[in-house]
């Protein structure tokens, strides 16, 4: 193959493994963004193995895990550009790594040490976020004939304990995917008021999650998605993930309940009885 030896992103240096993962301007932007400045001073004579050895000897277990996930996501991003000319931002690479971690931890929750069969996974329950993180489940319910939608969000910590819940009714004859995108936007604005790091936003609208990491478009739906991406940049560590409705039922009930609301309503610290009952069945 007549391969170009120069980095396909910065076009200034030879594309060595060390350059792609650590010394390229894009890689350095990512490491700075995720707070792992230890790898920013890597010398050109250093090998990738030496970087890993140094990090593994001086870092916590969680940091070692993220180092591997970020490196894998950087290489995936490199291939996406070289072969498909698909641009992925530093935020996209970070989100992919955090999403992989979330999926892995969810699978461990499902296995529960002894392993469950595939049939049981169809009845999935809510899975806890990583240690130190919160998970915000989001859903929207359309009521086109009445000219409004209901949006519900519920936040829980790493132990599955209730933190806050939010419900809102929004006027307009929105299409389902626009309603789900508005649900994400409202949840992001709501959470940003009281927390801006280590947040998993989980929803059962795969179209919306895919659009967050996609190339964009010209529809009104994509305008809402662009607003969501702009808001996500205000968070330090954040990921948006897709999950089936069976694991998102609390937010779904809140979205249905929001039909009867005339204004934004929030519950903090003490949840109404019906939320407590839902949470006890969901975890």
Are 244 and 124 in contact by the 8 Å Cβ rule? The answer is yes
118 CB-contact burial (10 Å; exposed 0-12 / middle 13-18 / buried 19+):
exposed
Q: Which of 213, 211, 233 is nearest to 224 (CA)?
A: 211
Residue range 151-158: mean pLDDT, rounded: 91
Strand order in the sheet with 134-143: 238-242, 199-203, 134-143, 148-156, 162-171, 265-268
Q: Which of 65, 40, 53 is nearest to 73 (CA)?
A: 65
C-alpha span between 181 and 116 (Å, rounded): 33
Strands (E), the chain: 134-143, 148-156, 162-171, 199-203, 238-242, 265-268
- Report if pTM > 0.85: no
- Ordered by start, the domain boundaries in the chain are 17-106, 134-282
Topology of domain 134-282, CATH: Nucleotidyltransferase; domain 5 (3.30.420)
Q: pLDDT at position 121, please?
A: 45
Q: Read off the pLDDT of residues 51-101 as tens digits, 9 standing for 90 and up.
A: 899 888 888 888 888 899 999 999 988 988 888 888 787 877 888 888 788
**Paired residues of 167 in beta bridges:** 152, 265
Q: pLDDT at position 39, please?
A: 79
The terminus-to-terminus CA distance of the chain in angstroms comes to 53
Q: Is the pLDDT reported for residue 222 higher than 90?
A: yes
Higher pLDDT, 3 or 283: 3
Q: Read off the pLDDT of residues 35-49 as tens digits, 9 standing for 90 and up.
A: 887 877 788 788 999
Residue range 182-208: mean pLDDT, rounded: 94
């Amino acid at each position: 193959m007549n391969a170009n030896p120069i980095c396909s992103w910065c076009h200034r240096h030879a594309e060595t493994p060390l350059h792609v993962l650590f010394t390229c301007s894009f890689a350095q932007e990512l490491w700075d963004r995720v707070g792992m400045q230890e790898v920013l001073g890597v010398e050109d004579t250093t090998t990738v193995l030496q970087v890993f050895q140094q990090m593994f000897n001086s870092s916590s277990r969680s940091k070692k895990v993220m180092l591997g996930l970020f490196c894998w996501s950087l290489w995936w991003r490199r291939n996406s550009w070289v072969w498909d000319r698909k641009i992925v931002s530093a935020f996209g690479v970070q989100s992919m790594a955090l999403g992989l971690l979330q999926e892995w931890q969810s699978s461990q929750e499902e296995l529960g040490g002894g392993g469950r069969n595939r049939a049981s996974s169809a009845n999935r329950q809510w899975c806890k976020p990583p240690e130190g993180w919160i998970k915000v489940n989001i859903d929207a319910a359309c009521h086109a004939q009445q000219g409004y939608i209901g949006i519900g969000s519920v936040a829980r910590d790493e132990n599955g304990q209730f933190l806050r819940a939010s419900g809102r009714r929004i006027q307009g004859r929105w299409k389902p995917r626009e309603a789900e995108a508005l649900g994400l936007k409202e949840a992001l604005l709501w959470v940003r008021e009281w927390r801006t790091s280590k947040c998993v936003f989980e929803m059962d609208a795969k179209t919306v999650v895919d659009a967050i990491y996609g190339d964009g478009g010209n529809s009104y739906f994509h305008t809402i998605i662009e607003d969501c991406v702009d808001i996500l940049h205000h968070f330090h560590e954040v990921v948006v993930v897709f999950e089936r409705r069976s694991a998102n039922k609390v937010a779904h009930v809140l979205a249905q309940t929001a039909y009867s609301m005339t204004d934004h309503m929030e519950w903090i610290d003490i949840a109404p009885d019906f939320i407590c009952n839902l949470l006890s069945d969901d975890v």
